[in-house]
């Protein structure tokens, strides 16, 4: 049974840092959320599947950007146009979230909504689903708060956003709920080490709360941005034209910095333990997930009576994978050089 009223998949990013990899793999600048990095499904498709038990597909929006239409049009062909929030341009997470919230608010002002980035990996998706279900229950009990999903770090990664948890609000055998003290966005290596040692959490940017609570916090933190979206707060005859007019005046904004960091007293963070979360923002993270999947597959095969997979075989596969990437990169450079000479 779905525990959320609505869900929003955030799929409007350009994935700039990962473009060198997707360019080598696919031959063009394909944003990572529309790329098949693991198996035969895109990250967007994997996200849709991951959240299907949390929220009905009929009540799931997908926030995208017009210039990516060639990448998402076929994939979202089974989705009603009213469930696709098409932004004229990418103006960051703040704009995507505000637009999506206003779309939902028109249809269901008392909704509980969750936002899901579409470039995530979870080694244990069951742990993620259980955590999201618990967060949803907590939101219904404490509607004045937004709840963030905080991942337990495996090491001190300085390239992530970190959450410093405060007072413990509840604890179970598998997870804990805390007030939020403050955020650290991509701290220095030494600070990341301290955050890791002190039990801080990684900000997954999965957020759950009542629509009205989200909008209330927008009024408190970025009232000018919320006001700019006034033409889209009500149903209009030409929403595409209205959206173009709104976005033309916007500057790019980051929701974590503009909203979350400014209202920590209205936030709770749920520690998502042992889910094996990763934000696929860099090539190294994609390689690490690929290695993890291969290792898990090797253990599964060994456990089922198949030929044992040795550590040496795994390293041989990883080296072959790296060589393949290098070969593709070199071929691309040669072709570029040839075109330049011609």
The answer to whether residue 337 scores a pLDDT higher than 80 is no
* Cβ pair 127, 271 in contact under 8 A: no
The residue that leads in pLDDT, 113 or 17, is 113
User: SS3 helix, strand, coil % of the chain, rounded to 5?
Assistant: 50, 20, 30
* Residue 309 counted as domain residue: yes
Shared domain for 94 and 225, answered yes or no, is: yes
| Residue, of 26 and 336, whose pLDDT is higher | 26
pLDDT, residue 231, reads 94
What is the separation of C-alpha 105 from the centre of its chain, rounded to a whole number of angstroms? 22
Q: CB 24: neighbour CB atoms within 10 A?
A: 18
Residue 77 lies in a domain: yes
Task: Indicate whether 1 belongs to any domain.
Answer: no
Q: Do 171 and 188 fall into the same domain?
A: yes
DSSP string, 175-204: -EEEEEEEEEES--HHHHHHHHHTT-EEEE
Instruction: Give the pLDDT of residue 298.
Output: 59
Asked if the structure places residue 250 within a domain, the reply is yes
Query: Which segment of 13-22, 168-177, 202-211 scores lowest on mean pLDDT?
Result: 168-177
End position of a domain, from candidates 232, 266, 281: 281
Tell me what pLDDT residue 195 has: 96
Residues 272 and 295 in one domain: no
28/44 Cα distance (integer angstroms): 18
Last residue of a domain, one of 259, 281, 303: 281
The pLDDT, as a whole number, for residue 314 is 42
**pTM of the full structure:** 0.85
pLDDT value for 325: 55
Compute the half-sphere exposure of residue 174: CA atoms within 13 Å on the CB side of its CA. Answer: 12
Per-residue pLDDT at 214 exceeds 80: yes
Which pLDDT score, from 0 to 100, does residue 97 have? 98
Q: What is the CATH number of the domain that holds 157?
A: 3.90.550.10
User: Does one domain contain both 92 and 150?
Assistant: yes
- Residue 172: what pLDDT? 74
pLDDT over 70 at 308, yes or no: no
Q: What is the pLDDT of residue 120?
A: 95
Whether residues 75 and 190 fall in one domain: yes
pLDDT of 243 reads: 97
3-state secondary structure 212-275: HHHHHHHHHHCHHHHHHCHHHCCCCCCHHHHHHHHHHCCCCCCHHHHCHHHCHHHEEEEEECCC
pLDDT mean across residues, the chain: 88
E strand or H helix at 2:
none
SS3 of 143-163: the string is CCCEEEEEECCCCCCCCCEEE
pLDDT, tens digit, 9 for 90 and up, residues 75-116: 999 999 999 999 999 999 999 999 999 999 999 999 999 999
Percentage with pLDDT > 90 across the chain = 68
Question: Domain end: 229, 247, 281, which one?
Answer: 281
Q: Please give the average per-residue pLDDT across 13-21, as a whole number.
A: 90
- Model confidence pLDDT, tens digit, residues 153-193: 988 988 899 999 999 998 876 789 999 999 999 899 999 99
Same domain as 18, residue 38: yes
Residue 93 belongs to a domain? yes
Q: What is the pLDDT of residues 265-277, one digit of tens each?
A: 999 999 987 889 9
Record the tokens describing residue 166, joined without a space.
């405060």
DSSP assignment, residue 88? Answer: S
Residue 304's pLDDT band (cuts 50, 70, 90): low
Q: Does residue 140 share a domain with residue 20?
A: yes
Q: Can you give the residue range of the structural domain that contains 313?
A: 288-341
Burial (CB < 10 A; 0-12, 13-18, 19+), residue 60, is buried
DSSP 58: G
- Total structural domains within the chain: 2
């Amino acid at each position: 049974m779905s525990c959320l009223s609505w869900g929003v998949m955030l799929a409007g990013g350009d994935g700039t840092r990962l473009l060198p990899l997707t360019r080598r793999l696919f031959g063009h600048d394909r944003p990572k959320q529309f790329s098949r990095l693991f198996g035969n499904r895109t990250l967007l498709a994997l996200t849709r599947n991951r959240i299907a038990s949390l929220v009905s597909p009929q009540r799931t929006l997908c926030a995208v950007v017009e210039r990516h239409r060639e990448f998402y049009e076929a994939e979202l062909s089974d989705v009603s146009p009213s469930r696709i929030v098409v932004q004229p341009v990418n103006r960051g997470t703040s704009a995507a979230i505000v637009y999506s919230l206003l779309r939902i608010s028109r249809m269901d002002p008392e909704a509980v909504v969750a936002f899901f980035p579409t470039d995530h990996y979870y080694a244990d998706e069951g742990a993620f689903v259980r955590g999201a279900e618990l967060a949803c229950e907590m939101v219904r009990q404490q509607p004045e708060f937004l709840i963030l999903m905080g991942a337990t770090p495996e090491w001190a990664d300085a390239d992530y956003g970190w959450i410093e948890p405060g007072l413990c609000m509840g604890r179970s055998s598998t997870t804990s709920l805390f007030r939020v003290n403050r955020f650290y966005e991509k701290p220095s290596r030494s600070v990341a080490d301290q955050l890791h040692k002190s039990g801080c959490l990684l900000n997954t940017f999965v957020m759950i709360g009542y629509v009205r609570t989200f909008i209330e916090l927008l009024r408190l933190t970025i009232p000018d941005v919320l006001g700019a979206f006034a033409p889209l707060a009500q149903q209009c005859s030409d929403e595409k034209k209205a959206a173009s007019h709104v976005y033309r005046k916007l500057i790019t904004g980051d929701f974590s910095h503009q909203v979350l960091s400014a209202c920590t007293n209205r936030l709770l963070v749920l520690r998502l333990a042992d889910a094996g979360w990763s934000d696929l923002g860099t090539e190294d993270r994609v390689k690490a997930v690929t290695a993890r999947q291969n290792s898990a597959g090797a253990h599964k095969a060994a456990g089922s009576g198949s030929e044992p997979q040795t550590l040496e075989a795994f390293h041989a596969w990883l080296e072959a994978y790296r060589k393949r990437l290098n070969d593709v990169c070199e071929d691309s450079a040669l072709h570029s050089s040839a075109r330049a000479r011609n």
